[in-house]
Amino acid sequence: MKHIFTYIFCLIAAIGYGQSPGYVCQHEGISLVPLENLNTKSIEFSPAYYQQGIVYVVAREKNNFLDPKTGRAYFDLMYADIGPDGSTTKSVNFSPNIRTQYHEGPCCISSDGMELFFTRSNLSGGQGINDEQGEVQLKIYHAIKGAEDWEQITELPFCSDSYTVVHPAISADGMDLIFASDMPGGMGGMDLYMVNRSTGSWSAPVNLGDKINTKGNEIFPFIHPDGYLFFSSDGLEGKGGLDIFVTAPDTAGRYVDVQHLESPYNSGRDDLGMIVSANGTSGYMASDRKPTKGKDDLYRWSSPVSIFCPPGRKAKALIPKEIIVQDEQGRTIDSVYVWMIPMNQEGPTLYKDHFTTALVQKEDKEGAFSFRWSMTEPLPVASADAMSDKDGRVNIQADGKATYLLSASSTGYESYTEVVNGDQIPSTILLKKAKDYSSPCVQTLFTVYNEKGRC
């Protein structure tokens, strides 16, 4: 019999949501699609708004001149126009004037389009300058928009030949610059710092503090026009690898509350470099979630309404939970994709094109009905919320007062799917080896599950 990827879930429950301080609220209908015309077998990441499109970073794979520190190709800045529907033109080199044979990396452009801040290898006379360990560090440079290209390229004064200063993000008023650095005195690997030029010159860097920075790496900042700070971290608790977080300064200008973003922004892989439009309804980011054309790919996300929480509404309080994925012999399974899809009384609130809904008469109670949600095709692995590590561990977050469709999938195993309450997430998921679908539960159009999610 043909393998049919369709499941039914029955649930009769009132759905509630807990609330806690937050900046980004989860909405229905958020889409995340790869920029197919820009993604290649190379690496594409760190988009930045400019004119009618984006500037982004790509590895210069066709050049045999490699970075001795990483053994990989150097980075270039590229530009592509993007239409209102998200379609992209063929990318072109961003600026001949700033291009060298070394790294040109993540950048940002001022809101008036006249100033460029960009990451570049530490150079003098076109050649790399080695530090005491024989390595060429990275610095942030500043340029002014000229008649034909970027001009007056200068190194920012707080950079050093001895440590890295990278990933600039400029505020809408052009006064504050946030960047990442491993300068001495930090919390760990790469920390986020801020400088200000309200007096006419750049201030000394100020560490954003231990509510933001960790023993890991905090990188790829972006400052939204409304003041929200997005960044990626592998030190704060997330789904695995680099995850995207958001914060905002309090009335004293301190960053004290950090919110971890939910799916589809974060996955079990590296997710980084998120930028958000002024009205909060679209943006771009990079991820190495599977499948990819290369390493990191660019994605465009869109929302029917602003992702920012409206006045009086707060983001849901999420509880961290660890799940172990095992086979029937109790052996852990790695590389299992896991989804936590919020549900309401109408069914799954995400990936609605993968589901159908119907009212079904309850057999044990005349005149009573339950909803039947049918998954008509497999969920795309690029949308997974997490992936199990080498020890079978999956780290997810859930609202204890919400209801979710919990699903797990891996090649060679039958898919696991169950409707669960956020405060009753199972500690173990058991996957069975794939077999012929000759079970009496399989029907022409769907497999029927009872209210516990089993045949």
Instruction: Please give the distance of CA 23 from its chain centroid, rounded to a whole number.
Output: 16
The answer as to whether 313 is a domain residue is no
The answer as to whether 153 is a domain residue is yes
* Number of domains making up the chain: 2
What is the CATH number for 230? 2.120.10.30
- For 348, half-sphere exposure in the C-beta direction (CA atoms, 13 angstrom radius) is 27
For residue 18, name the pLDDT band (cuts at 50, 70, 90).
Answer: very low
Do 223 and 345 sit in the same domain of this protein?
no
What is the spatial distance between Cα 339 and Cα 269, in angstroms, rounded to a whole number?
13
The answer as to whether 455 is a domain residue is no
Do 55 and 194 sit in the same domain of this protein?
yes
Instruction: Please give the distance of CA 148 from its chain centroid, rounded to a whole number.
Output: 35
Do 238 and 373 sit in the same domain of this protein?
no
Q: Which two tokens stand for residue 179?
A: 């960047």
Q: How big is the CA angle at 144 (ends 253 and 194), to the nearest 5 degrees?
A: 20
Residue keyed to tokens 């690496």: 43
Give the residue-averaged pLDDT of 119-135. 77
The answer as to whether 74 is a domain residue is yes
The proportion of the chain whose per-residue pLDDT surpasses 70, expressed as a percent, equals 82
Q: Which of 386, 339, 383, 288 is nearest to 43 (CA)?
A: 288
The answer as to whether 141 is a domain residue is yes
- Could you tell me the pTM of the whole model? 0.71
What is the spatial distance between Cα 278 and Cα 369, in angstroms, rounded to a whole number?
44
The answer as to whether 25 is a domain residue is no
Do 358 and 278 sit in the same domain of this protein?
no
Strand ranges of the sheet holding 243-249, from the earlier edge strand across to the other edge: 218-223, 229-233, 243-249, 255-260
Q: Give the range among 15-29, 320-334, 360-374 with minimum mean pLDDT.
A: 15-29
Do 266 and 330 sit in the same domain of this protein?
no
The answer as to whether 175 is a domain residue is yes
Residue 1 pLDDT greater than 60, yes or no: no
What is the CATH number for 396? 2.60.40
What is the SS3 assignment for 381? helix
Do 266 and 353 sit in the same domain of this protein?
no
Do 236 and 267 sit in the same domain of this protein?
yes
Give CA separation, 186 vs 132, 247, 437, 444, in Å.
20, 19, 56, 61
DSSP letters for 59-90 = E-TT---B-TTTSSBPEEEEEEEB-TTS-BPP
Do 250 and 341 sit in the same domain of this protein?
no
Choosing from 302, 331, 358, the residue where a domain stops is: 302
Q: How many helices (H) and strands (E) does the chain have?
A: 0, 33
Q: Which two tokens stand for residue 29?
A: 């209908």
Q: Give the range of the structural domain holding residue 102, as residue numbers without chain letter.
A: 31-302
Q: What is the structure's pLDDT at 379?
A: 78
Do 407 and 367 sit in the same domain of this protein?
yes
The answer as to whether 445 is a domain residue is no
Q: What is the structure's pLDDT at 295?
A: 84
What is the spatial distance between Cα 171 and Cα 158, in angstroms, rounded to a whole number?
18
Residue 330 DSSP code: S
- pLDDT averaged over every residue in the chain: 83
Query: Which helix (H) or strand (E) covers residue 393, if one does?
Result: strand 393-398
Do 263 and 384 sit in the same domain of this protein?
no
55-85: per-residue pLDDT in tens?
999 987 666 667 767 667 889 999 999 988 8
Do 285 and 324 sit in the same domain of this protein?
no
What is the spatial distance between Cα 268 and Cα 199, in angstroms, rounded to a whole number?
43
Residue keyed to tokens 């009132």: 14
Do 272 and 141 sit in the same domain of this protein?
yes
What is the spatial distance between Cα 76 and Cα 90, in angstroms, rounded to a whole number?
15
270-288: per-residue pLDDT in tens?
999 999 999 999 999 999 9
For residue 3, name the pLDDT band (cuts at 50, 70, 90).
Answer: very low
